Amino acid sequence: MRFKNLDLNLLAALDTLIRVRNVSRAAEEMFITQSAMSNALGRLRDYFDDPLLIQVGRSMELSPLAASLEQAVRDIIVRIEAAVVSTPSFSPEVSNRSFSFIVSDYTVLTIMPPFLQRLEKMAPAIQIEFKPQQNHPHLLLERGEADLLIAPEVFCSTNHPMEPLLEDRLCCVVDADGPFSTGVISQADFLSAGHIVMQPPNGGDSFAQRAFDHLGIKLRIEVTTYFFTSLPLLVRGSRRIGLVQQSLAHVLSKIDGIKIVEPPYPLPALRQSLQWHSYRTRDPALSWIREQIHETVRAIADGSAVQSPASVT
């Protein structure tokens, strides 16, 4: 197909070249030879009468025109992919579709085990890929590199649909033989203690600090980690207080040497949302996957799906 003398098949090559800014890697990603990709770049340069990629030292940079085309071309590719992948009907028991989720290790450990158990029974050939959260995770949705984002609403985009998934709350994790082993932490002890929190990918305030903001309390953060699941291990042998979601604390409750304690303050709920690209709203397969995630969360809440506690010594 051609549009005003442009071979639309070249749009995929243009999209890949703009994203990776390297002819060899673009060729590998599209499973074509380097010479074929070089030829495609030459045709694109002729069409746009622009270099598109410019050699700067050892790397390639986008020309101003290529930079201006980046989002428009990506948007076209995502729309085409969504139309091609989506089918009028969906049969989970025979489908071999692949889905990628942007999730934290908190979600992987708390929701995904029972979700995958459910999926194995209902759609055994479906494949799931977990991708770590990063700065502006919604951009992976917009680039078509992920199907779903599960994250606090603050990390979601206002440009795409989202729906509430679950509410959790904050609890304290302490050393089982430390000063808080009695299971009670006073407000004075909490304020004077050092805290261990998870640092979000965007470098902003931790989710724990956000929870205390409405009380006007500034945590004494002495340790930050990029993994929720490492946090309970970091309090062992320490006088510090780790702050983590209650559901994750339950899963990790069998770790030797830690104790779960209620915080000495009433804290707001921690809300997680489910988000997808607007172009995928009518994809029956993705709608089914979303519903199974919701069903899993409901089953966890009513006790019919069990989150197996981890045992780490």
Select 2-85's CATH number: 3.30.70.270, 1.10.10.10, 3.90.1150.10, 3.40.50.300: 1.10.10.10
Q: pLDDT (tens digit, 9 = 90+) per residue, 146-165? A: 999 999 888 888 889 999 99
With pLDDT > 90 as the criterion, what percentage of the chain qualifies? 54
**The predicted structure's pLDDT at residue 262:** 95
Distances (CA, A) of 287 to 88, 150, 290: 12, 15, 5
Phi-psi region of 5 (alpha: psi -120 to 50; beta: other; left: phi over 0): left
The C-alpha atoms of residue 10 and residue 77 are separated, in whole angstroms, by 11
Q: Average of pLDDT values for 272-285?
A: 90
Single-letter residue type at 147: D
- In angstroms, rounded to a whole number, what is the distance separating the alpha carbons of residues 36 and 1? 19
Characterize 141-162 residue by residue with b for buried, 16 or more Cβ atoms within 10 angstroms of its Cβ, and e for exposed: bbbbebbbbbbeeebbbeebeb
Q: Is the pLDDT of residue 311 over 80?
A: no
Across the range 180-196, mean pLDDT stands at 94
Q: Tell me how far apart the alpha carbons of residues 166 and 168 are, in angstroms, rounded to a whole number.
A: 7
Query: Hey, is 5 helix, strand or coil?
Result: coil
- What six digits make up the tokens of 254? 């069998």
Length of the chain counted residue by residue: 313
Q: Are 112 and 297 spatial neighbours (Cβ–Cβ below 8 Å)? A: no
Compare 31 and 136 and report the one with higher pLDDT: 31
Distance from C-alpha of 268 to C-alpha of 253, rounded to nearest angstrom = 22
- Flag whether pLDDT at 5 surpasses 70: no
Minimum mean pLDDT among 78-92, 101-115, 189-203: which range? Answer: 78-92
Show the beta-strand stretches assigned E in 112-268: 127-132, 148-152, 162-168, 170-175, 195-198, 221-225, 241-245, 258-261
Q: Tell me the average pLDDT across 36-60.
A: 90
Q: Where are the domains of the chain?
A: 2-85, 98-167+271-302, 170-268
Q: Of 228, 76, 202, 230, which Cα lies nearest the Cα of 138? A: 202
pLDDT at 202: 64
Question: What contacts 291, CB < 8 A, 6 or more positions away?
Answer: none
Report pTM: 0.74
Residue 238 pLDDT: 94
Q: Give the mean model confidence (pLDDT) for residues 236-243.
A: 95
259, 262, 265, 267 alpha-carbon torsion, rounded to 10°: 110
pLDDT at residue 2 above 50?
no
Alpha-carbon span 160 to 170, nearest angstrom = 28
Whether 170-268 and 98-167+271-302 are alike in CATH topology: the answer is yes
Question: Class for domain 170-268, per CATH?
Answer: alpha beta
137 pLDDT higher than 90: no
- Is 90 exceeded by the pLDDT of residue 304? no
Percent of the chain having pLDDT more than 70?
A: 92
Question: How does the average pLDDT of the chain come out, rounded?
Answer: 88
Among 33-37, 49-53, 133-137, 233-237, the range scoring the smallest mean pLDDT is 133-137
Q: What is the pLDDT of residues 205-231, one digit of tens each?
A: 788 998 899 899 999 999 999 888 898
Q: Which fold has domain 98-167+271-302?
A: D-Maltodextrin-Binding Protein; domain 2 (3.40.190)
Average pLDDT over residues 274-298: 93
Helices (H) and strands (E) in the chain, counts: 12, 14
Most confident of 10-14, 114-118, 225-229: 114-118
